[in-house]
Structure 1
Amino acid sequence: MLKQTLIASAILTALPATAADVDYFIDLTEPTHHTGDVRINFPATDKAYLDVKMPAWRTGYYRILNLANGVRDFRVQTDDGDTLNWHKVDKSTWRIELPESARDDEIVVDYQIYADLLGRRARHIDDSHAYLDASAVFMYADEYRQQPVSVELDVLDNWRSVSGMDSTDEHRFVADNWDILVDSPIETGINDLYKFEVDGRDYELVIWGEGNLDHEQTVEDLKALVTTGPEIWEGYPYERYVFMVHLTTGAGGATEHRNSTIIQRPRYRYGERDDYLSFMSTASHEFVHTWNVKAYRPSPLVPYDYQKENYTDLFWLAEGSTSYFQDHLLLAADIMEPDEYFERLATDVERHYRKPGNEVMSVAEASFEAWSDQYGDRAQNFSVNIYSEGAMVSWLLDMALIEATAGEVSYRDVHNELYQRFDADEVGFTADDVLQILNDLTGNSWQSWWQENIEQPIGDLPFADMLQTVGLELTFASADEQQAWVGWSGNAAATGIELTRVERNSPAWDAGFTPGDVIVAYDGFRAAGGRFDEALAEYEIGSEVEVTYFRRDELHTATLVIGEEQHTGAKITPVAEPSAKQQARFLQWLGIAHPNA
Structure 2
Amino acid sequence: MRYSLAALLLIAGSPAAATVDYAIDLTSPEHHSSMVTATFPTTSAAFLDVRMPAWRTGRYSILNLANGVSDFVAMDGNGRPLRWQKIDKSTWRVHLDRPAAVNVRYALYGNELGYRSRHIDDSHAYLDASAVLMYAEPYRGDDVRVSLKVPSGWQSFSGMESAGPHRFVAPNWDQLVDSPIETGINTSRRFKVGAQEYELVVWGKGPYDIDKMASDLGRIAGAVPAYWPTYPFKRYVWMVHATSGAGGATEHRNSTVIQLPRAMFGDADGYRRFIATAAHEFVHTWNVKAYRNAAMVPYDYQKENYTNLLWVEEGSTEYFSWPLLLRAGLVTPAEYFDELSGLIDGNQHRPGRTVQSVAQASWDEWISPADAERSQNAWVNIYSEGQIVSWMLDLALLQQTGGRVSYRDVHRVLYERFPSDRRGFTDADMLAVLQELTGQSWVPWWARHVTAPVTADFNALLNPVGLQLTYPDGPKAWAGWSGKAAERGIALALVERDSPAWVAGLGAGDTLVAIDGKPVGKIEDLLAGRKPGDVVTVSYLRRDETMEKRVTLGTTRGAPKVVPVTAPTAAQKALFERWLLVPYPKA
TM-score for the superposition, normalised by structure 2 = 0.95
Change in Cα spacing, 1:493 to 1:281, as seen in structure 2 (3 Å) is closer
Change in Cα spacing, 1:69 to 1:522, as seen in structure 2 (3 Å) is same
Q: CA offsets per residue over residues 203-246 of structure 1, 9 Å max, x none?
A: 10011011112111111111111012211112111111000000
Shift of 1:19: 10
1:7 corresponds to = none
Shift of 1:531: 6.1
- 1:542 and 2:540 are equivalent in the alignment: no
2:8 corresponds to = none
- 1:47 and 2:45 are equivalent in the alignment: yes
Structure 1 counterpart of 2:381, which letter? N
1:418 corresponds to = 414
2:30 corresponds to = 32
Shift of 1:475: 1.0
Matched position secondary structure for 2:148: strand
- 1:308 and 2:306 are equivalent in the alignment: no
Q: Distance in 2 between matches of 1:151 and 1:550?
A: 56
Q: Distance in 2 between matches of 1:487 and 1:222?
A: 40
Matched position secondary structure for 1:270: helix
Q: Distance in 2 between matches of 1:572 and 1:279?
A: 23
1:85 corresponds to = 83
Matched position secondary structure for 2:502: helix
- 1:511 and 2:504 are equivalent in the alignment: yes
Q: CA offsets per residue over residues 496-538 of structure 1, 9 Å max, x none?
A: 43322111111101111112223333223344xx567524322
2:9 corresponds to = none
Cα pair 1:20 1:150 within 8 Å, conserved: no
- 1:397 and 2:416 are equivalent in the alignment: no
2:277 corresponds to = 282
Q: Distance in 2 between matches of 1:245 and 1:476?
A: 37
Cα pair 1:574 1:596 within 8 Å, conserved: no
Cα pair 2:309 2:427 within 8 Å, conserved: yes
Cα pair 2:357 2:450 within 8 Å, conserved: yes
Could you list the runs of 5+ residues in structure 2 that have no partner in the other structure? 1-14
1:12 corresponds to = none
Q: Distance in 1 between matches of 2:471 and 2:510?
A: 32
Could you list the runs of 5+ residues in structure 1 that have no partner in the other structure? 1-16
Alignment of 1:95-174 (within 5 A): 95-100=93-98, 103=99, 105-174=100-169
TM-score for the superposition, normalised by structure 1 = 0.93
Matched position secondary structure for 1:81: coil
Q: Distance in 1 between matches of 2:543 and 2:149?
A: 55
Matched position secondary structure for 2:29: coil
1:201 corresponds to = 196
State which of 247, 255, 259 in structure 2 corresponds to 1:252: 247
Alignment of 1:260-275 (within 5 A): 260-275=255-270
Q: Distance in 2 between matches of 1:423 and 1:322?
A: 17
Change in Cα spacing, 1:242 to 1:512, as seen in structure 2 (3 Å) is same
Q: Distance in 2 between matches of 1:308 and 1:532?
A: 42
Change in Cα spacing, 1:555 to 1:340, as seen in structure 2 (3 Å) is closer
Q: CA offsets per residue over residues 304-335 of structure 1, 9 Å max, x none?
A: 00000001000000000000000111111111
Cα pair 1:164 1:242 within 8 Å, conserved: yes
Change in Cα spacing, 1:576 to 1:520, as seen in structure 2 (3 Å) is closer
- 1:351 and 2:346 are equivalent in the alignment: yes
Alignment of 1:411-560 (within 5 A): 411-459=407-455, 461-477=456-472, 481-527=474-520, 530=521, 534-560=525-551
Q: CA offsets per residue over residues 19-72 of structure 1, 9 Å max, x none?
A: 961000001111111001101110011110000000000000011000000001
Cα pair 1:24 1:39 within 8 Å, conserved: yes
- 1:220 and 2:197 are equivalent in the alignment: no
Q: CA offsets per residue over residues 176-215 of structure 1, 9 Å max, x none?
A: 0000000000000011111111111111001101111211
2:586 corresponds to = 596
Q: CA offsets per residue over residues 357-412 of structure 1, 9 Å max, x none?
A: 11111000000010003232011011100001100110000000000100000000
Q: Distance in 1 between matches of 2:382 and 2:258?
A: 20
Q: Distance in 2 between matches of 1:189 and 1:227?
A: 29
Shift of 1:482: 2.6
Cα pair 2:18 2:139 within 8 Å, conserved: no
Cα pair 2:482 2:523 within 8 Å, conserved: no
Q: How many equivalent pairs are there?
A: 572
Matched position secondary structure for 1:468: helix
Q: Please identify, of 400-409 and 570-579, the stretch whose mean Cα deviation from structure 2 is larger.
A: 570-579
Change in Cα spacing, 1:80 to 1:158, as seen in structure 2 (3 Å) is same
Shift of 1:350: 1.2
Matched position secondary structure for 2:265: coil
State which of 326, 333, 336 in structure 2 corresponds to 1:338: 333
Q: Distance in 2 between matches of 1:491 and 1:337?
A: 32
Matched position secondary structure for 1:156: coil
Matched position secondary structure for 1:106: strand
Shift of 1:18: 13
State which of 322, 326, 350 in structure 2 corresponds to 1:327: 322
Change in Cα spacing, 1:111 to 1:342, as seen in structure 2 (3 Å) is same
Cα pair 2:159 2:255 within 8 Å, conserved: yes
Matched position secondary structure for 2:380: coil
What is the root-mean-square deviation of aligned Cα atoms in Å? 1.7
Cα pair 2:373 2:493 within 8 Å, conserved: yes
Shift of 1:154: 0.6
Structure 2 counterpart of 1:413, which letter? D
